[in-house]
Each structure stands twice: as C-alpha cells, then as structure tokens.
Amino acid sequence: MRKHVVAIVGRPNVGKSMLFNRIIGERLSIVEDEPGVTRDRIYAKTDWLDHQFNIIDTGGIEIVDDDKIINQIRMQAQIAIDEADVIVFVVDGTMGITSSDQEVAKLLYRSNKPIVLAVNKIDNPEMLNNTIEFYSLGFGDPVGVSSVHGIGIGDLLDAVTDHFSNIELNSYDEDVIRVAVIGRPNVGKSSLINSILGEDRVIVSDIAGTTRDAIDTPFEADDQRYVLIDTAGIRKRGKVYEKIEKYSVLRAMSAIENADVCLIVIDGAQGIIEQDKKIAGYAHEAGRACIFIVNKWDLVEKDDKTYDRMTKEIHEQFIFMDYAPVVFLSALTKKRLHTLLPMVKFAAEQHNLRIETHLLNECLRDAMAIFPPPTDKGRRLKIYYMTQVSVKPPSFVIFVNDQELLHFSYERFIINKLRERFNFEATPIKFFVRQKT
C-alpha cells in the first residue's frame, strides 16, 4: 500500500520550508528570508504517531507575476497539489490575509482536496487572536503554528492525519504479486508492460521521460493475479532537466516501496551505465525481490558467447545483487517474453519464503562444520542459533557470544549457505546479529 502524500503550499515567504524542516526534523529545505528561494518541490518521508507519509515542500505560488521562474514555481506547486492527498495551506499570521493568499485559496478550492490551514509565525499565545481573521478563507478552523519555535506542530499534524482515514489508497490482496517496472528513461519500460499485457495500455514514445506517473495495471495470467506498476524513467539527479521529472522520481520510489518484485530494465543495445546501478540500488536497499531485464536484445549483435558475457558483466557490475536472475528479451518482438512471468512468480515466492527454525539450524551447523567460526585475538566466535523473524524480504536473527567477532565475510558465508540450501534466489536477505548473554 502506498503512503499518503501531504503538500505544503502558500504564497512566497510565509515560512513553508521552515515548517517542512520542522515536521521532518532536519534542515532539508533551504530557508532564506527571500521570496522564491524554494523553486522546486522537495520530498521527504516522515511520520506522526502511527502514520507514515511523504511530504512535499513547494515553491511559493505567485499568481499575478508573469515572470518565467514564477511560472515554473507555480507549475511545480500545481503538480504537488495534484499529487497530494492532503494540502497544508500556509499563511503569515503577522500580515493578515493578502490578495495573494486569496488567489492561492481560489486555486485550492478547485483541487477538491482536504485543506488544513496553518497560520504561521504565531510565536506566543498572545498572537493566537491573529488566526481569527483567516476563518474567512473558508477552510475551517485555522491552526496557529510557529515553525521557528515548534509551537502548534502537533496540532497541525493531528489535523492532517485525521483526514487519512477518509482517503482510500490502492491496496491489493495478499495473493496479488505487485511488480514495479523501473529503470532510467527510454529503456523500454512501457513497451515491456504493453507486451506483457498484449495491448497498448501505457503510452509508448521514443522521447525519454514520456511516462509521468506510476500507473497500476491489474491483470491475471495462468491463475496468478498481478499488478504491474509502470514508472517514469529515473534520471541521474544532476541531469534532471525537466522539472516534472523530479516528481516522477518520487512516484518511482513509491512504486519500489509498494512492490513485491522489481523488474530492473536495462538497455541491452546501449549496455550498463552508472545510473543503472543507482536505480538497482534503490530496489535492493528497499529489500525487494529483483530481476534484471535486458531489453532490446533483438538489437544486439550476438555470437555464441554474448549471453554468457552479458550475464557475467551484470553480476560483476551489480556485485551487491548477485542473487538477482537475468532475463534477456525484446519487448518489441516479444522474443523470450514467455520466460518473464514464471520468473516473476518464482521471485515473489522466494521473497515470501519462510524456513522452519530446526532446518535453519541444521544448515548453520553444516556451515560451521565446513568452515568453523573464526578467532580474533584468542577469542573464538560462538554461534548459538538462528531464527527467521520476517519475510518480504526473508530476515534472520543470529545469536552469538560477541557481535564484534562476527566478521562481515563470515556473515556472507552463512548467507551463501542459506541460499544454496533453500534456493533463496531473486531476493535479498536481511541479517541481524544479537549478542546472547
């Protein structure tokens, strides 16, 4: 299930970025006493009580100015408004309602989204009367806050999260396999989805970055239900030329978080580039089952060693993901496409695999018999037992006499033995070490 999205909007210089920083607990947004400093949207994950959500800081909405940069800021804010489930409308409690506030309010009326009105710069209780004027904007009870001093932030977040219960998020049954198709722009993600579905459900274009949003497409094959999530291509951060693509990155990250399996699409004709590693790293760090898809395989000049050579190169370049299988196909010609869904189903099963404790410890004993625990300065590592604590991804706790004696290389050895014994392919494995006293 995706997280709720909250957007902070308002005219320039009302303290949106400082409020954003206060909510997330760090200084991520640039804060300057100068209108228009925050030109792009800035995203972060945060939580309040039992609610986790994404929050967006936006540039100030200036309606009356025809300046090009102001128009870009307004476009960014509009995208954030469209994406948001709840909008925090920030106004300046020391200045009262301005004509710009009224223009922003008109824009927000048209959004039909829940609005929480935050009257900022209420730095002491005597200033609470300043909030009364803002009832006239028509957004219900204004919440007096001070982003500088942290006053009223809890009340504001209570008001925001109260709306979450009325907002339905996309959710699917446990037996549905959620598949995120990720990769840099123009590697053929949308073409791949169209080929799997057998119809043109997603816009396909040669222009990099055509797909703006993450699109959920449910379908069924061989009595298995799936949801395919097409995402906008993730560009290298330093080369995000189109402003809208920053918004696309958030959607791609959200898709990865909500997936069971990530199909990491690589352009077989162009080969591996550094950005492919970054994208794969996002999926790996999120603990998702992963499959490398080498697309456009029909465009590659091949001999009898090309397949093995490319497979070896992928495992060398993505050395931290040597568990991920590689599928070579062409979304255009559909060659080898029939191999994909069985691999996706297998990856999802491995991602959700649970092993009984006694079988785990049999594997552990066999591993230690082959390669006994090492010693360090006369002290020998003792491993008592291991147990599985969760799935998606499979996660294990191992109990030892001294955590510092368990070197990374020996931990890696045990993980490899788990993979060999229980066929943990296509999924990362999380390992936690606990010292038993």
Domains contained in the chain, CATH given: 4-166 (3.40.50.300), 177-351 (3.40.50.300), 357-435 (3.30.300.20)
**Residue 168 in contact with residue 144, Cβ under 8 Å?**
no
State how far the Cα of 347 lies from the Cα of 344, in Å rounded to an integer.
5
The residues pairing with 221 across neighbouring beta strands, listed in sequence order, are 224
- Residues of each annotated binding site for GTP: 10-17, 57-61, 120-123, 183-190, 230-234, 295-298
For position 191, what pLDDT does the model report? 87
For position 142, what pLDDT does the model report? 97
Residues of the chain scoring pLDDT < 70: 1-2, 26-42, 59-77, 79, 170-171, 199-215, 230-252, 254, 437
For position 251, what pLDDT does the model report? 57
For position 64, what pLDDT does the model report? 53
For position 55, what pLDDT does the model report? 87
For position 200, what pLDDT does the model report? 55
- Residues of each annotated binding site: 10-17, 57-61, 120-123, 183-190, 230-234, 295-298
